[in-house]
Chain A
Amino acid sequence: MLDDFFTRALLAGVGVAVVAGPLGCFIVWRRMAYFGDTMAHSALLGVVLAILLDVNITFGVFVIASAAALSLVLLQRRVTLSVDALLGILAHSTLAIGLVLVTFMVWLRIDPMGYLFGDILAVSALDIAVIYGGGAVVLGGFALVWRPLLAATVNAELAAAEGVRPERARLVFMILMAAVIAIAMKIVGILLITSLLIIPAATARRFAQGPERMAVIAAAFGAAAVVAGLFGSLEFDTPSGPSIVVAALILFLSSLLRFGRPRRRPPLETAG
């Protein structure tokens, strides 16, 4: 029989994966993997500040990740550095500040490892409510900006010319991403969130003919990775977050294999 904590872990993980799949597609399409990583890295700072100010941790992470995204957009406009350099600076400095603050505040007694690699087996019923409630809000908001965001992804100028407001869609997308990072942090941890966003989307690419289909398939692959990873973690006594990512990777690698396609040979020509 499954222990109760394990059922909760499964429910929480699947909920996060279903939201992460469609958002992950956009991260892949827009080449924002490192951007997502930067937002995730800032999450530890959000945790520490939330504890210091005595506010909800998920909320603190959401605010700080949004702030990281916005400051990156502003820096991009003002500083003549390449985007990847800016991302590198922002990602690692926010993570470092978070780690330094954790060490300073010995009275907090928080374990950074739990946040860095996730603690899915400690998920509470309230966490599940936050994941499903927040997840529904994120998916709803995402559905609203889907068309403009997709149009802006294909060509921002075309989207602007035909009046679908690409900048606004992009801003909403960043905020949704911050929300996903905040609710996914407990499941796979700060360092592995991006993989839960990107790997299922990359796996889905080969099986999809259209963007909407790819989003749904990515959600399904993400959920499958969570289930497989959690069972694997139980079976082999491995940490749950990394196990989920390994399961996602195995799914991705198998999607690269050519299977079920009979090789066509040219028909033999028979002489008259």
Chain B
Amino acid sequence: MTRQADRGVHGEHVGTAGGVETRPALVSAHGIGVRRGDRWLIRGVDLAVHRGEIVTLIGPNGGGKSTAAKVILGIKTADEGSLASSPGLRVGYVPQRLTIEGTLPFTVRRLMTLTGQFPEFEIDKALAEVGIAHLAGAQARHLSSGEFQRALLARAIVRRPDLLVLDEPVQGVDFSGETALYELIATIRDRLDCGILLISHDLHLVMGATDTVICLNGHVCCSGPPHSVAADPAYRELFGPRTAQAFAVYRHDHDHAHLPDGRVVSLDRTEDPSRDPSGTARPRTGDA
């Protein structure tokens, strides 16, 4: 039931995805690589977000989704590659983890003006849009995790951002809440006409409200509109059996597989050193 409702939302936006590409990108990254010590967290990542487009980064934990987003946001500096963003870009960010210290009193209303000042009616409108207008006076620490995620979303949209970056925005939200929240994100995109970079590891729901999917596991495994890519056994291997449900919406082909240590092998069993996320081609014995 829910899934079908989802697909309905999705269907409305598929058409816009093609037209979007002609506009200049809000941000675009080319060949981005970030290294920690001698290990590459991500490498060779191409990523662009256009106005009015929802781009979803999916991939396993440790696949470098947040790292890629932080490069886009300018929080992390890439060790290689180039990043271009349109001048005067206004950003709204919902980080993956945000906790308010017990020593720090903060009402939801005060949280809205954390990084800038906004008129009261704008704040009220943003809170109403995410459905927590009644919690404006509540202490942020006392919200449930779902309410807190909505408050963080309201805080990001009250800025009227050109680019909205949402790192796992549905964490702590129950299943029906997740669907509602993704629908809300799609609505926000329509109203603000902003670009949205969405990070998720549960792809089954994200698919409904996204234009472009980028599958990231150290490198870009595959990318494209969700309806045009087909399912692949390697994909199932990457995300676990649960994702089988999502194949109806999101299918794609892999020409490679991931070894447990993150190295990449082509499906004909030859290792491809250029795609090695560790950055060092190691000699392999046996079936070359």
- A residues in contact (CB < 8 Å) with B: 28-29, 147-148, 150-151, 153-155, 157-164, 202, 205, 208-211, 213-214
Given the known A-B contacts A147-B115, A157-B95, are A162 and B104 also in contact in the complex, defined by CB atoms under 8 Å?
no
Known contacts A157-B75, A159-B115, A161-B75; 19 additional CB pairs below 8 A are A29-B104, A150-B114, A151-B115, A154-B114, A155-B98, A157-B70, A157-B73, A157-B93, A158-B93, A158-B95, A160-B74, A162-B91, A162-B115, A163-B91, A202-B103, A208-B105, A209-B105, A210-B105, A211-B105
B239 adjacent to chain A (CB < 8 Å): no
B100 adjacent to chain A (CB < 8 Å): yes
Hey, which chain B residues are within 8 Å of A202, CB to CB?
A: 103
**B98 interface neighbour in A150, A154, A210, A213, Cβ under 8 Å:** A154
B70 near A154 with CB under 8 A, answer: no
Hey, which chain B residues are within 8 Å of A155, CB to CB?
A: 95, 98
Hey, which chain B residues are within 8 Å of A157, CB to CB?
A: 70, 73, 75, 93, 95
Hey, which chain A residues are within 8 Å of B92, CB to CB?
A: 162
| Chain B CB within 10 A, most for which of A148, A150, A164, A213 | A150
Q: How far is the CB of A89 from chain B (nearest CB, A)?
A: 27
Closest-by-CB residue of A relative to B97 is: A155
Q: How far is the CB of B149 from chain A (nearest CB, A)?
A: 14
Interface residue SS majority, chain A: helix
Hey, which chain A residues are within 8 Å of B93, CB to CB?
A: 157-158, 161-162
B159 adjacent to chain A (CB < 8 Å): yes
The number of inter-chain residue pairs (CB within 8 angstroms) is 68
Interface residues of B, CB < 8 Å — how many? 24
A161 near B74 with CB under 8 A, answer: yes
Q: How far is the CB of B240 from chain A (nearest CB, A)?
A: 29
**B107 interface neighbour in A151, A153, A163, A210, Cβ under 8 Å:** A210
A29 near B74 with CB under 8 A, answer: no
B151-167 contacts to A (CB < 8 Å): 159, 165
**A214 interface neighbour in B70, B98, B105, B115, Cβ under 8 Å:** B105
A29 near B103 with CB under 8 A, answer: yes
| Chain B CB within 10 A, most for which of A151, A153, A162 | A162
B40 adjacent to chain A (CB < 8 Å): no
The proximity string for B residues 111-138 relative to A, scoring 1 for CB distances below 8 Å and 0 otherwise, is: 0011110000000000000000000000
B115 near A29 with CB under 8 A, answer: no
Please report the C-alpha to C-alpha distance between residue A208 and residue B106 in the assembled complex, in whole angstroms: 9
Hey, which chain B residues are within 8 Å of A158, CB to CB?
A: 93, 95, 98, 114-115
Closest-by-CB residue of A relative to B159 is: A162
**B106 interface neighbour in A28, A162, A163, A211, Cβ under 8 Å:** A211
B110 adjacent to chain A (CB < 8 Å): yes
| Chain B CB within 10 A, most for which of A151, A158, A163, A202 | A158
